[in-house]
Structure 1
Amino acid sequence: MFDQAPYECRVEWGERGAREAAKRGDIVIVVDVLSFSSTVVTALHHGAVVFPHAKDDTLGEFARRHGAHVILGRAEAATAGVPTLSPVTYGPEHAGRRYALCSLNGAVCARIGGASSALLVGSLLNASAAAGEAARLRGISGAGVTVVACGEKWSDPRQGENVLRPSLEDYLGAGAILQVLGGSRSPEAEVCAGAFRQSKSRIAELVWDCGSGRELREKGYAEDVRHCARLDRYATVPRLHEERFVESAELA
């Protein structure tokens, strides 16, 4: 069976990677740079309360149970003037407000990874802080750390094809965390950290012009791409606790 043992720090992809890491009891860091992770980090930095959920038929009931507003798609939110999956729509005025946030990739991986010893959210925006918090938790529990690059999904897979589309921005986001994270790295994690080291001086340029970045820009969300490509802008580290994200340091 595929395994990155006996290394302390690992990297995995997508939902299956999150599930395997949770089964091992690892500390899991979910990375979905464009845009779930960046949105959660930004929203919590401004004091919003975020509940992750898959986009399915149970979302409405889930939101009602938590007294949370279901966020709208980017285009709908632009006309309604409310926050959405776009991280730049969150500010100090949203402090204390409760939102059910869904996405096809990051939110699903977060829900799956929630069965782990600790589920953190990482991005370029908080890479060093996320690595530091994972190291602190590892020091307490002795658990390994798996950084899960969520990737994207193909919109039109043929029958039997894998829907996962690995994404450059999530790989570099995972590498930014692994580069700072102490401990032995699996070969996969070492190469991921090396990709970030090699690209660090061009991170903003690469995220801007990668496939996912161009896709968002062409839809009119260039500011999202600029924001999500900023390195170590926040010290906020979201951690899943009782179905919502809280600042991990508050659970210390």
Structure 2
Amino acid sequence: MFDQEPFLVKVEWGKRGAREAAERGDIAIVVDVLSFSSTIVTAIHHHAIVYPYPPPINEQAAAYADEIGAELLLGRAEAARAGRPSLSPVSFGPRDAEKKYVLCSLNGAACSRLAAGASALLVGSLLNATAAAKYANSLQRKTGASITVVPCGEYWQGGRDGENDLRPGIEDYLGAGAIISGLAGSKSPEALVCEGAFREGRDRIADLIWDCGSGRELREKGFAEDVRHCARLDMYQEVPILDRNHFRDAL
């Protein structure tokens, strides 16, 4: 049976990886660079209160937002036309302080829901990689729990029966590697290779994120500024942690 159990620091992909981390009682760090993680980190930096909710944006999500007195965030394009925040990280600013939002996301929010039972659930990205690693190390020393970094990846559209729909995204792998590079303790071969990818690409992170498949997809939809923002390394010190049903700054 596949596992990385002998090691303190592990890396697991996607929703299944998030569930495995939670079931082990690990400290889980969800990484969805383009854009859930980067959006959560940016929103928390601006003191917004964000409730993750699995997709789609539908009546159930709207009812949940009403129940907790929050605003359900719209899709990027629709929110941009209305001048509202969205999954676009650059849509958040000082005006969002203390406001409550429900954020749906196919990858990051779904993984967060599955990892909610972890010893602690953190959100990491390139924007807060060093801070996330530092805080995870402090939690590990206090609790003795292992750490699993979960790059969320993307999903193929139009898959056929029997095909795996997970599409690993290099932006998430690089973000995970950036965090792993700051983690202490024994690292699985999977984690070491992930860290190595980041160290190799560190000097050209912005170019790699700009030209990767996910980056091109966002740029072609008119969200180039999101791609630029998400590729910035260690821009923020905030570390989002799940507190019951919403994210707050752990620090």
Q: Specify the TM-score bucket, using the shorter chain as the normaliser.
A: over 0.9
Give the secondary structure class of the aligned counterpart of 1:125. helix
Give the alignment partner of residue 229 of structure 2, picking from 227, 230, 248. Answer: 227
**C-alpha displacement of 1:243:** 0.4
* Residue 67 of structure 2: aligned partner: 65
**What is the aligned partner in structure 2 of residue 28 from structure 1?**
28
Question: Where does residue 160 of structure 2 map in the other structure?
Answer: 158
Alignment of 1:74-223 (within 5 A): 74-223=76-225
Once the two structures are TM-superposed, the CA of residue 149 in structure 1 deviates from its matched residue by 0.3
The aligned residue for residue 46 of structure 1 is 46
Aligned to 1:6: 6
What amino acid is the match of 2:37?
Answer: S
* CA distance, structure 2, for counterparts of residue 108 and residue 200 of structure 1: 28
Partners of 1:220 and 1:2 lie apart in 2 by 41
Aligned length: 249
Q: Distance in 2 between matches of 1:39 and 1:78?
A: 15
Q: CA deviation at 1:242?
A: 1.4
- Give CA-to-partner distance per residue, 1:83-120, whole Å, 9 cap, x none: 00000000001001000001100000001001100000
Distance 1:62 1:243 in 2: 11
* Runs of 4+ residues over 2 Å off in structure 1: none
In structure 2, how many angstroms separate the alpha carbons of the residues matched to 1:144 and 1:95? 33
Q: Which amino acid aligns with 1:219?
A: K
- SS at 1:15 equivalent: helix
Task: Find the aligned partners of 1:97 and 1:143 in 2 and give their Cα distance.
Answer: 33
Q: Which amino acid in structure 2 is aligned with residue 139 of structure 1?
A: R
Q: Residue type matched to 1:74 in 2?
A: R
Shift of 1:167: 0.3
Residue 180 of structure 1 aligns to a residue whose secondary structure is: coil
TM, length-normalised to structure 1: 0.98
Partners of 1:61 and 1:183 in 2: CA distance: 43
- Tell me the secondary structure at the aligned position of residue 132 of structure 1: helix
Supply the RMSD in Å over aligned alpha carbons. 0.7
Query: What displacement does 1:196 show?
Result: 0.3
- Deviation of the 1:160 alpha carbon: 2.0
SS in 1 for 2:172: helix
Q: What SS does structure 2 have at the residue aligned with 1:193?
A: helix
Query: Helix, strand or coil for the counterpart of 1:239?
Result: strand
In 1: Cα distance, 2:181 partner to 2:228 partner: 22
C-alpha separation between the residues in 1 aligned to 2:73 and 2:5? 39
* TM-superposition CA deviations, 1:50-89 (whole Å, max 9, x none): 0000124521221112111010111101110000000000
Q: Which amino acid aligns with 1:98?
A: K
